[in-house]
Amino acid sequence: QVQLVESGGGLVQAGGSLRLSCVASGRTFSAYTMGWFRQAPGKEREFVARIMWSGGTPSYADSVKGRFTISRDNAKNTVYLQMNSLKPEDTAVYYCAARRSVVLNTSPKVWDYWGQGTQVTVSS
pLDDT tens digits, one per residue of 22-43: 999 987 777 789 999 999 999 9
Quickly state the pLDDT bin for 1 (edges 50, 70, 90): confident
Long-range interactions of 67-74: CB distance < 8 A, separation 24+: 70/34, 70/35, 70/36, 72/34
Q: What is the pLDDT of residue 31?
A: 78
Quickly state the pLDDT bin for 56 (edges 50, 70, 90): confident
Higher pLDDT, 56 or 86: 86
Instruction: Give the distance between the most distant pair of CA atoms in the chain.
Output: 41
| Secondary structure, 3-state, 87-106 | CHHHCEEEEEEEECCCCCCC
Q: 66 in the Ramachandran plot: left (φ > 0), alpha (ψ -120 to 50) or beta? A: left
Least confident of 11-25, 76-90, 95-109: 95-109
Q: How far is CA 56 from CA 38, 42, 74, 121, in A?
A: 23, 34, 14, 30
Quick check: 2 pLDDT over 80? Answer: yes
